[in-house]
Chain A
Amino acid sequence: MSKYLFLLLVVAFFAWYLSYSATRLDRLHHRVETSWANLDGLLQRRAAIAIEIARSEISDPAASLLLTFAAHQARDASIKDRSQAESGLSAALGILLESTEEISGANEKALVQELRELNAKIKMAIAIHIDAVNRTTMVRSKPIIRLFRLAGNAPEPIVYEFEDDVL
């Protein structure tokens, strides 16, 4: 009798553990979604600012061309090309930010300031996103989670390459 009771307890504990692990993983997937949504939004804003800068008096015609091109590429890129496009935009904006001393005009200064603040936020968003991805990947790789396919159909979270070299 007590043997069955013990078995029942073990099964019940196991079932609880599975459900607990599934909830844990589900939460992590949600965290990755949130952090990516946040990062994506900031990157879109960066592209918008880049286009504004290209139209302003900060940039010479060559820089304008480069910036506009890079910004549109980053905005329209498919998931596959996103990383490269964002890196391109980072590089284009990086060149511009190196020589901001000569910039005069309140509007232009405000634009550059906005870009700087946005960059700081993007850095933070990337750190948050990378941490969420790492943690999720780690939990997903646990044997019990792989064995019981607790990740379900949720896509494997990825870190984009551009995140390493953003400005």
Chain B
Amino acid sequence: MMPISKKRIGIVCPYGWDTPGGVQSHVGDLAQYLISAGHSVSVLAPALSDENLPDYVVSAGRPIAIPYNGAVARVLFGPIAFARVRQWISQGNFDVLHLHEPAIPSISLLACWAAEGPMVGTFHAAAKRQKVSFAVVPFLEPVIEKLTARIAVSEAARETLREHLETDAIVVPNGIYADRYRDGVLEPRWSGNTLGFIGRFQEPRKGLSILLDALPRVVSAFPDVQVFVAGPGNSDETLEVIEPNLRDRIHFLGRISEKEKANFLTSVGLYIAPNTGGESFGIILAEALASGASVVASDIPAFDSLLGHGKYGTTFTSENSQDLAIKIIDLLSHPEERLNKAKQGKEYAQSFDWDVVAEKIFDVYEMAMAGGRKVTLASENRSWNKFLGRDTNE
């Protein structure tokens, strides 16, 4: 149960709201949860257009697509964006500010710079230490240290934060609506010796090709094995490069609904996540576990820590299709062990439910608010605004 005292909460999302992504959906779910608990929530995010934005989202302007950390990020910065951020902060009268990915060059960082008072930062990314971080850390440190409390979404993200910015964080995982997945229905058309895959399969980092490379070996051990691929993409292009004798065992389902997704995850023999990287948390694995699926995933840091280092699912050496094939064959030949692990995983996945996760996040808010101050513009920004003769609404 949420406490009775209602708070004004400002959340900043660094990535374009209209582009689908893990951080965006996390922010959206969290905002909706907090609103349903009676709090007043405003989300500041870049957006391509003001239309179709939920009423709790305020647009900070059009995002710019820049390559960052090996992917294209839709972020926003610059003087106009900064002015909007300051205005949003000074008008919001927030009790607490929640900044997502404040170490990314986008509006979360600007907000962290512009504000002072109770601030919580959530770090999603888990990345290897890069040479360039030596150069940017001196700029980031004084800004990031203004955060009253930090949250990392996984042990891997916490480790990244420790390495890069020498600061510790509390681990609070991303949330899922666990009850949706718990009640998934077993559909015979997807069950049996089947392998499931969900995602934009044409993106190389989703790793479908690794699964397809593992297939011949799996087929020689289990001739009845079938593969179901769900998610948007052009299946013809993918089918073209597959050996003809394998083609009829691979079924493309296209985009599936949330309800179908729960049933799909409940039904498939094994859920395969061969992602090669770029995953900060692995929400799909939490959903798969909550549905009771047996999971085989690559051993990238985010997946490894989410699966309890092999306790709730099986990992294989990332990008190694031979190892994947061995793990699949092993699991398919030991159904009892597999179901046992899945059962434990299902229980464990309940801890990712929004009821648990949002409560924890709110606990952190309360700790940040212990000083009793409100969020204001930082003193140096106030004097800067006065100097320019701008109204700060104070």
Chain A residues within CB distance 8 Å of chain B: 20, 23-24, 27-28, 30-31, 33-35, 37-38, 41, 121, 124-125, 127-128, 130-132, 135, 139
Nearest residue (CB) in B for A30 is B371
Number of A-B contacts (CB under 8 A): 49
Determine how close the nearest CB of chain A comes to the CB of B122; give it in whole angstroms.
14
**Chain A residues with Cβ under 8 A from B371's Cβ?**
30, 33-34, 37-38
Assembled-state Cα–Cα distance A82/B370 (Å): 21
B132-189 CB contacts (< 8 Å) to partner A: 142, 145-146, 148-150, 167-170
**B364 interface residue (CB < 8 Å to A):** yes
Give Cα distance in the complex from A72 to B167, angstroms.
35
The 8 closest A-B pairs by CB, nearest first: A38-B370, A34-B371, A128-B149, A131-B168, A38-B367, A135-B145, A124-B170, A37-B370
Contacts of A27 in B (CB 8 A): 116, 146
Answer whether residue B379 sits at the interface, using C-beta atoms and an 8 A cutoff: yes
Q: List 12 A-B contacts (CB under 8 A).
A: A20-B380, A23-B380, A24-B142, A24-B145, A31-B148, A34-B118, A124-B363, A128-B148, A128-B149, A130-B168, A135-B145, A135-B167
B-side contacts of A33, CB under 8 Å:
371
| Residue interface bits B112-124, CB-to-A below 8 A is 1, else 0 | 0000101000000
Chain B contacts for A128, CB-based, 8 A: 148-149, 170, 367
Main secondary structure, interface of A, reads helix
- Contact in complex: A131, B167 (CB < 8 Å): yes
Interface of B is mostly: mixed
Give Cα distance in the complex from A124 to B118, angstroms.
Answer: 16
B363→A121 contact, CB < 8 A: yes
B142: A residues at CB distance < 8 A:
24
With A121-B367, A127-B168, A128-B170 already in contact, 8 other A-B pairs whose C-beta atoms are closer than 8 Å: A23-B380, A31-B145, A31-B148, A37-B370, A124-B170, A124-B367, A131-B150, A135-B145
What's the Cα separation between A23 and B145 when bound, in Å? 12
Give the Cβ gap from B384 to chain A, nearest Cβ, in Å: 12
Residue of A with least CB distance to B120: A128
How many chain B residues touch the partner (CB < 8 A)?
Answer: 20
B146, B149, B150, B168: most-surrounded residue (chain A CB, <10 A): B149
Cα distance, A139 to B150, chains bound together (Å): 18
**Complex Cα gap A24–B145 (Å):** 9
Q: Please, which residues of chain A bring their CB within 8 A of the CB of B370?
A: 34-35, 37-38, 41
Residues of A within 8 A of B379 (CB): 23
- Choose one: B116, B168, B367, B380; the contact of A35 (CB below 8 Å): B367
B residues 303-326 touching A (CB-CB < 8 Å): none
Closest A residue to B142 using CB positions: A24
Q: Which residues of B contact A130 (CB under 8 A)?
A: 168
B342-378: contact bitstring with A at CB < 8 Å (1 yes, 0 no)?
0000000000000000000001100110110000000
Residues of B within 8 A of A127 (CB): 168-170
Shortest distance between the CB of A64 and any CB in chain B (Å): 30
Q: Which of B145, B170, B368, B380 makes the CB contact (< 8 A) with A28?
A: B145
| Residues of chain B with a CB closer than 8 A to A34's CB | 118, 148, 368, 370-371
CB distance from B146 to the nearest CB of A (A): 6
Q: In the complex, what residue of chain B is closest to A31 when comparing beta carbons?
A: B148
Cα(A35)–Cα(B367), bound, Å: 7
Which residue on B lies nearest to A21, using beta carbons?
A: B142
Chain B 98-120 interface 0/1 with A at a Cβ cutoff of 8 Å (1 = within) = 00000000000000000010100
A20: B residues at CB distance < 8 A: 380
Whole-angstrom CA separation of A128 from B152 in the bound complex: 13
- When C-beta atoms are compared, the residue in chain B nearest to A24 turns out to be B142
In the complex, what residues of B have CB within 8 A of residue A124's CB?
170, 363-364, 367
- Cα–Cα distance between A132 and B119 once the two chains are bound (Å): 13
Specify which chain B residues have a CB less than 8 angstroms from the CB of A37 in the assembled complex: 370-371
